[in-house]
Amino acid sequence: MALKLYGAAMSPCTSRVMTCLHEKEADFELIPIDLFAGEHKQLPFLAKNPFGQIPALEDGDLSLFESRAISAYVAEKYKEAGHDLIRYQSLKEAAEVKVWMEVESQQYHPAISPIIFQFFAAPLQGKVPDQAIIDENLEKLGNVLSVYEEKLSRTKYLAGDFYSLADLFHLSFTYYFMKTPCANLINERPHVKAWWEDISSRPAFQKVASAMTFGEKGN
Ligand SMILES: N[C@@H](CCC(=O)N[C@@H](CSO)C(=O)NCC(=O)O)C(=O)O
């Protein structure tokens, strides 16, 4: 039975899960939730995620939220299909994947998400981007990217010489980041730039990126 993913194709958290579903060649239905109408802040969606945020996923009687947890579930459930994102046959490699999944969530995301908010969400609320917030977080993100530059000078991908869920977790927010005037923070770091170009060119993400139109005319 097809998985049901509740969210919006332009939302980076929803597209994180869709990218994973495509890598695993999993059959799913995207059920649009209208953020502009506040559908995510009321029932029935609140019964799927009490925090009122997209995405949520239903697989039979199992209902999940948090895009990274959903992606890890999909990667495990379909571990023998498509690309192995969690290195399930190697305890050590799987542990490295978990380290860098956490790094994305604990170090990278807290720095990049306020920048994305200022450039893409604030204007939708009639506000101008707050340069102080952008600058403060660019400095944090720069420090994180310097660690990435050194790691990626030793391994092709973050967890090792294999593409994993850890790399995938970075795609959707970085995609929007590269559309801002701050893209040089990545382009000026050769190993990070090569990594970004490699992981963002994967067909599974390309399918998703075409619908990631946040900030473009009309939405
Ligand atoms: N940690 C959670 C964050 C979900 C989230 O922020 N969702 C956003 C859209 S994605 O950018 C959202 O629902 N925003 C609307 C709101 O918060 O009101 C996850 O990874 O699933």
CA 54 to ligand 1 center in whole angstroms: 5
Fold of 91-206: Glutathione S-transferase Yfyf (Class Pi); Chain A, domain 2 (1.20.1050)
Instruction: Ligand 1, residue 54: give the atom nearest the CA.
Output: 13
The verdict on the CB of residue 11 being under 6 Å from ligand 1 is yes
pLDDT in tens, 104-125: 999 999 999 999 999 999 998 8
- Tell me the two tokens of residue 49: 């995620």
Work out the number of other CB atoms within 10 angstroms of the CB of residue 110.
13
What's the per-residue H, E or C state across 55-119?
CEEEECCEEEECHHHHHHHHHHHCCCCCCCCCCCCCHHHHHHHHHHHHHHHHHHHHHHHHHHHHH
Beta strands at 28-32 and 3-7: parallel, antiparallel or unpaired: parallel
Cis preceding-peptide flag for 114 (omega within 30 of 0): no
Whether this model's pTM surpasses 0.95: yes
Work out the number of other CB atoms within 10 angstroms of the CB of residue 64.
20
With CA atoms as reference, report the closest residue to 31 among 2, 6, 53, 61: 6
pLDDT in tens, 31-88: 999 999 999 999 999 999 999 999 999 999 999 999 999 999 999 999 999 999 999 9
Instruction: Ligand 1, residue 66: give the atom nearest the CA.
Output: 21
pLDDT greater than 80 at residue 215:
no
**Cα–Cα distance, 167 to 196 (Å, whole number):** 9
Instruction: Ligand 1, residue 65: give the atom nearest the CA.
Output: 21
Complex confidence, ipTM: 0.98
CA angle, 106 as apex, 189 and 18 as ends, to 5°? 80
Residue intervals in the chain for CATH 3.40.30.10: 3-82
Nearest CA to ligand 1 atom 15: 53
Q: 3-82 falls under which CATH superfamily?
A: Glutaredoxin (3.40.30.10)
The residues pairing with 63 across neighbouring beta strands, listed in sequence order, are 58
The verdict on the CB of residue 54 being under 6 Å from ligand 1 is yes
For a ligand 1 pocket test, name from 5, 13, 173 the mutation site with the most ligand atoms within 8 angstroms of its C-beta.
13
Q: Quick one: what percent of the chain has pLDDT higher than 90?
A: 95
Report residue 170's pLDDT band, with 50, 70 and 90 as the boundaries: very high
Averaged pLDDT, 188-196: 98
Nearest CA to ligand 1 atom 16: 53
Residue intervals in the chain for CATH 1.20.1050.10: 91-206
Q: What is the pLDDT of residue 218?
A: 60
For a ligand 1 pocket test, name from 20, 53, 119, 169 the mutation site with the most ligand atoms within 8 angstroms of its C-beta.
53
pLDDT greater than 80 at residue 169:
yes
Q: How far is CA 47 from CA 11, 53, 132, in A?
A: 20, 11, 37
> Residues 64, 53: contact at Cβ < 8 Å?
no
